[in-house]
Amino acid sequence: MSKPKFSSRSIVVSFLLLLAVSFSSLAQNTATLSITGEVTTPLDLKLTDLASFKQVSHKVKDRDGKEHEFAGVALIEILEKAGVTTGSKLRGENLAKYLLISAADGYEVLYSLAEIDPDFTDQVILLATSKDGQPLANGEGPFRIITPNDKKPARWIREVRSIKVAFAKN
């Protein structure tokens, strides 16, 4: 009798690998991004919800100087959908509003609204969902902020889970 081509051990290992991969992609597809605070419509977004938005991409260099193409949607579009004060409404006291963006690992970064608004800047801050044509990996996605004009990528927050809009007023 000839030796079986695949040992039962390698079959078990392959099965476990497949299981691990499916779980991680499941985690990517079910992770939600919540937009709360000073919004008219709080949002709970899944990766699939972003498909209906216009897709934008940026070529940027990472901290090692390696170029990557990130694609996703303009953060401002999501904020507009949530009813944040943007454009002509971004004046007066609203200029004291900021976004506190939090990640799955507890990392947090802050942006002012004016930093994101196209009436104030040509920079298009991205809520990225893919890198070099692939969906963002576990530990990076499903959502990551990309700010092309920042000289260092410390605010390119990975695994974004929530964006809270608030007033920085006394």
Among ligand MTE, Mo ion, none, what binds residue 66 when CB lies within 5 to 8 Å by partner kind? none
Q: Is 70 helix (H, G, I), strand (E, B) or coil?
A: strand
Q: Is 75 helix (H, G, I), strand (E, B) or coil?
A: helix
Q: How many residues bind Mo ion (CB under 5 A)?
A: 1
DSSP 4: P
Q: Which is nearer to ligand MTE, 34 or 94 (CB)?
A: 34
Strands (E), 42-143: 43-45, 56-61, 67-74, 97-103, 108-112, 126-131, 134-135
Q: Which is nearer to ligand MTE, 53 or 107 (CB)?
A: 107
Which residues of the shown chain bind ligand MTE in the complex (CB under 6 A)?
62-63, 103, 105, 107, 153-154, 156-159
Residues present in the chain in total: 170
Q: Which is nearer to ligand MTE, 47 or 85 (CB)?
A: 47
154 binds Mo ion (CB under 5 A): yes
Q: Which residues here bind Mo ion, judged by CB under 5 A?
A: 154
